[in-house]
Amino acid sequence: MATATTGKETSLEDLIRLLPDPQAPLPPLSQNIYTVVTWLVYLVYLSIVPIYLPYLILLHILLPRPFPSWTLSQRINTRLSKLQSTLLAWWLPPILFDEWKVEVWKMYTDETETGKLEVEIVSLPPIDEKMVVSSLLDVRPAVRPGFMIIPKDTVYQPVTKARVILHIHGGGYIRGHPLWTSFPVDIARATGMPCLSVCYRKTLESSSAFPAPLYDALSAYLYLTQTYPGSSVLLLAESAGGHLALLLSRYIRHFSLPQPGYIALLSPWADLSMSYPSYKSNKDYDTLCPRRLRTAVNSAMRYFIPAALKTEWFSPANAESKSWSYLKEERVKVYIQYGGRELFRDEIVSLAERMKGAGVETTLREDVDGLHTAGLSEPRAKNTFQEDLLGMLKA
């Protein structure tokens, strides 16, 4: 597999450090201590808001809008959200809930109780030892929870009964859960396809750093492909989940396993080196916090040499076009939606262009002036994502 920087064949084994990064963030605080820290940060936030809010209003009145759809409400909500994220960016969050339970997520429990939805908790077995990075002994395969989501009230007629969705959620590799948004059930409902969403390990400490999430995503894929051929799998992901989906695809190829038939990504994080211009040009509009992203990367990458960040494994937007040719060979169809004002814009465009350069059937859809993962909840972007996805599946 070629890298954009050296053009040489590389594997994850080649990128392991002799010793873990001593500068990696400390493990998460305990839940009790983190709760106290969160409250203290919130008090600081409340002390800043009375000064910051009039400043934002004045800024909006005095300066021309950067683009027509940029409203005062968007400016205030975006900046206040980013302020909170920045204040908390120095600490890794602990897992604050039982990852194996549906009961934590009210939207899903409400729909299961009314018979609109079935959610089955699946125990995903660890991958075989022959599929692990053998030189890395501190990160091992593990049993992980998956959630099989089966809507009982689909919006459309099923695209086909012989396909299935594998969903990988976002959260910057440091937070999140398969059921924390309605995205997987929305897509399952729109397509009429069952959806398995994997709860992969978050890269919060030594035992769960990379490649732990990769092992967990692979275990979910292998679980599904015991029943479905790879060509019948739709790999669906958003944000950091999109990064993991691309990493999974490359790892699958490494073991000569069948690729999924479809890959659909919403605002995928495609450059962990965070080197593209839109990190600066869009920093005033997007809610993503670069400081928090860097903390997440430093924690996730503790077992890998610094140069690994620039490789196709961890920054797929930097991969040479020819390194995506395996997707063309296996006739994988790719769909990507991104926001025109999000931090990841330029890396996503680069990713799609390089895939197209390899002849991969790739559809890139810009949500004009949209922010990161707007397709999760913003009606126009959400509808566009679903309609485009249905078009790809039916083609």
350-386 pLDDT, tens digit each? 999 999 999 999 999 999 999 999 999 999 999 999 9
Q: What is the pLDDT of residue 134?
A: 81
- Of 5-9, 126-130, 246-250, 329-333, the least confident: 5-9
Q: What is the pLDDT of residue 343?
A: 98
Residue 4 in this model has a pLDDT that exceeds 50: no
Q: What is the mean pLDDT of the chain?
A: 93
Task: Give mean pLDDT, residues 272-292.
Answer: 95
132-170 pLDDT, tens digit each? 988 888 999 999 999 999 998 765 554 555 899 999 999
For residue 377, CA distances in Å to 32, 135, 234, 287 come to: 31, 42, 21, 14
Q: What is the pLDDT of residue 154?
A: 66
187-241 pLDDT, tens digit each? 999 999 999 999 999 999 999 999 999 999 999 999 999 999 999 999 999 999 9
Task: Give mean pLDDT, residues 18-23.
Answer: 92
Q: What is the pLDDT of residue 7?
A: 47
Q: What is the pLDDT of residue 1?
A: 30
Predicted TM-score (pTM) of this structure? 0.94
Q: What is the pLDDT of residue 2?
A: 31
Q: What is the pLDDT of residue 160?
A: 52
Task: Give mean pLDDT, residues 237-259.
Answer: 97
Q: What is the pLDDT of residue 10?
A: 83
63-112 pLDDT, tens digit each? 998 888 899 999 999 999 999 999 999 899 999 889 999 988 998 999 99
Residue 42 in this model has a pLDDT that exceeds 70: yes
Closest by CA position to 269, among listed 252, 285, 253, 292: 292
SS (H, E, C) the chain: CECCCCCCECCHHHHECCCCCCCCCCCCCCHHHHHHHHHHHHHHHHHHHHHHHHHHHHHHHHCCCCCCCCCHHHHHHHHHHHHHHHHHCCCCCCCCCCCCCCCCCHHHHHHHHCCCEEEEEEEECCCCHHHCCCCCCCCCCCCEEEEEEEECCCCCCCCCCCCEEEEECCCCCCCCCCCCCCHHHHHHHHHCCCEEEECCCCCCCHHHCCCHHHHHHHHHHHHHCCCCCHHHEEEEEECHHHHHHHHHHHHHHHCCCCCCCEEEEECCCCCCCCCCCHHHHCCCCCCCCHHHHHHHHHHHCCCECHHHHHCCCCCHHHCCHHHHHHHHHCCCEEEEEEECCCCCHHHHHHHHHHHHHCCCEEEEEEECCCCCCHHHCCHHHHHHHHHHHHHHHHC
Q: What is the pLDDT of residue 155?
A: 56
Verify cis geometry, omega within 30 degrees of 0, for the bond prior to 211: yes
Under the banding of pLDDT at 50, 70 and 90, the label for residue 6 is very low
The separation between CA 314 and the C-alpha centre of its own chain, rounded to angstroms, equals 13
Under the banding of pLDDT at 50, 70 and 90, the label for residue 5 is very low
Task: Give mean pLDDT, residues 6-14.
Answer: 73
With a pLDDT cut of 70, the percent of the chain lying above it is: 96
Q: What is the pLDDT of residue 161?
A: 58
Task: Give mean pLDDT, residues 328-353.
Answer: 98
Q: What is the pLDDT of residue 266?
A: 99
Q: What is the pLDDT of residue 310?
A: 95
d(CA 372, CA 365): 13
